[in-house]
Amino acid sequence: DPATGSRGGLLVEGTCDEVGRRHVWVALGPEGPRTVTFATRLGSLERPSDLAERLPKALIHRNVPGEPVHAFLRDFDRAWAAAAPYASYGARQRWIRTVRDLTADWPVTDGPARWRQGEVTVRWEALAPLGW
């Protein structure tokens, strides 16, 4: 932005497991956190809350009852369980159905093209620690 001198970059802070099957990252802009992305190799996922062990530092210790990130992962697991019949069509179809159901209550910012890749991105404000 010529008026402010800002270059408009993003910083991505996150982590993954040792073999790169599970990832969670936060996209940060000049104003602060924007989104949280959960990504997995779908064939290796037992339930979405397995991604909790890869939460970034700002969220990992806040995954306790009463915190938004905990509620999200709880709802994610419930939607995953409800989508179990879609497993007969493969893990990808189950994931897509799960995320589609999540969009009823959570501000998912991406769409089916990313969901097919085993990703879902949620607005930071929905998952931010209480008092953030």
- Which pLDDT does position 53 carry in this prediction? 95
Beta bridge partners of 123: 35
pLDDT in tens, 74-110: 999 999 999 999 999 999 999 999 999 999 999 999 9
Q: What residue has token string 């409800």?
A: 82
- Which pLDDT does position 9 carry in this prediction? 86
pLDDT in tens, 27-50: 999 999 999 999 999 999 999 999
The domain ranges of the chain are 11-126
- Which pLDDT does position 103 carry in this prediction? 98
Model-wide pTM > 0.85: yes
Between 3-7, 12-16, 77-81, the lowest mean confidence (pLDDT) is in 3-7
Q: Taking 60 as the threshold, does the pLDDT of residue 1 lie above it?
A: no
How many Å apart are CA 80 and CA 64, to the nearest integer? 20
How many Å apart are CA 105 and CA 57, to the nearest integer? 25
CA distances from 35 to 3, 8, 26, 121 (A): 26, 16, 6, 6
- Furthest-apart CA atoms within the chain: distance in Å: 54
